[in-house]
Every structure is written in C-alpha cells, then in structure tokens.
Amino acid sequence: MLKDHQDAFGHQLYDYYRLQDDIPRIIGIVERCDGYVNDSGSSAVYFSEHKDWVPLEKKTIRYARGRILDIGCGAGRHAIYLQEKGHDVVGIDNSPLAVEVCKLRGLKNAVLMPFTQINSTLGTFDTVIMMGNNFGLFGSLKGARRLLAKLHGITSEKGRIIATTNDVYQTDLPEHLSYQEYNRNHGRMGGQVKLKVRYRKYATPWFDYLMVSKVEMEDILEGAGWKVARYIDSEGSHYVAIIEKKKERGE
C-alpha cells in the first residue's frame, strides 16, 4: 500500500471531494521515466455520473453482470453506479485516500488492496472491471499472465473481465515513437510505460503501466485461460476488450 507521501492520486481525489469550488487547482501530473510529462486531466472525470460518461464507457458498462470486482476503483464512479443498479460490488485500490473517498461517497465495500495481492478472501466474482485504461495495471507481460491466473481463480465459471486500454502505437509523435523503440531495445513491450504520478508535494514510486495493441492483448491472454469475446472500439486509439474464460482447454 502507498504511504501518505506517495499517495499523490489519492490526495488529488480527496482534495477534489472536499474542495470542488477550487477545481482548477486540483490537477495531477504524470511523469514518464524519459522525462516526458503531461497533466492527468480534470479531476471531475473521476467523479462523473453515468449521464456524463463518454459513449465508450456507456456501451462497456452494460457488459457487467453478477458480483463485480472493480480493480483500481479510484473515486468509485463505476463501482457506485453498478452498486446503485443492484450489483454486489467490491472496489479495490492501493491508494488509502482513494478508498476513503469511495467510502465517503457511499461505496459499501471498498478495500485497500494492491492488484498484485488479490486473493480468495475477496470471494468469487462474475465480472472484473478494469475501466479507465486499467488494463495497464497488469504492468508487464509476465505480470499480466501471473495476475490473469489469479483472476481465473477468483471468478465464476462464466467469469468475465472488462478491460479498457490504449493502442499507443497509433501515433506519429516522435517523443512516443522513440520511447517505444527504447522499450523494445531494453526487452520491454513497446507500450510498457514506466510512470510516476505527482500532485503538489506528493509523488508515487515509479511503476509500470501496460498499454497494448489488440494483437498484443491476444498474445498475453494465450495460454492464460482467457480469450477476447469481443472488442468495443472508440473513435480514437482507446478500446475495450470483453474477455471471457475459455470453456475448454485449447479453445
């Protein structure tokens, strides 16, 4: 779990929750290990209601069913929406303040737990959601296959993963192309991005965040007991994979 001085995203969310009249100042910074920096966008999106979601999210959330695990739940906008629809939802996050915000906003079951530590104590789920590009939390090819095995063990026979990601190869910007080439030259996937998040005096440790093409997605799932049932595309490089358990070995 993150220590308080590392909980940059959590502090950003908590400040927005408390100080919505001071919105322009509540913006985080995402720093890549090659020095490239960008802001994390408006904090308001993490608190948005279903009516304000982008079309891709509205289409995607319809595939959630049964008991649901929200990985990287943030401020809880997806989990709270599904809870209001009558689902039993568990949200997990490694940010103590994100979990606190979820509880303050009414999420009944918000758990402080890194994705890497998921286990059977959470129970069994029918759907795992990884919204907001949270396929990236798999981190690496090796990490993804290990965590997919864990998810296989805590999901029902009809278990489903709903994962959003960004095909970062759909770019012509030199700073991104050179970074992808750097990654490949160092034995990493092109979209395996090493990041840290900053907000005011807080900064996370460096962490890997994995963004993939559809071909890479299917390669990662191969042999892990999962398969892509369908894709949902956006007008840009972001897309959703509806991932389901294979019924039989080799299917």
Strand partners, 26: none
Range of the domain at 94: 54-193+212-245
On whether residue 250 sits in a domain, the answer given is no
What CATH number did the domain enclosing 118 receive? 3.40.50.150
Query: Is 42 in a helix, a strand, or coil?
Result: coil
Question: What total of structural domains would you count in the chain?
Answer: 1
- Give the pLDDT of the chain (251 residues) as one tens digit per residue: 899 999 999 999 999 999 875 565 678 999 999 999 999 888 999 999 999 999 999 999 999 999 999 999 999 999 999 999 999 999 999 999 999 999 999 999 999 999 999 999 999 999 999 999 999 999 999 999 999 999 999 999 999 999 999 999 999 999 999 999 999 999 999 999 999 999 999 999 999 999 999 999 999 999 899 999 999 999 999 999 999 999 765 44
pTM, two decimals, is 0.95
216 domain residue, yes or no: yes
Is 147 inside a domain boundary?
A: yes
Spell out the residues 6+ positions from residue 220 whose beta carbon is closer than 8 angstroms to its own.
Answer: 138, 141, 144, 145, 148, 212
Asked, for residue 151, whether it belongs to a domain, the answer is yes
Query: What's the CA gap between 24 and 55, in Å, rounded?
Result: 25
The answer as to whether 14 is a domain residue is: no
Domain-located, residue 127: yes
Inside any domain, residue 45: no
Burial of 41 per CB tally in 10 Å (0-12, 13-18, 19+): exposed
Among candidates 36, 1, 6, which has minimal Cα distance to 197? 6
43 in a structural domain: no
Q: Give me 164's structure tokens.
A: 């959003």
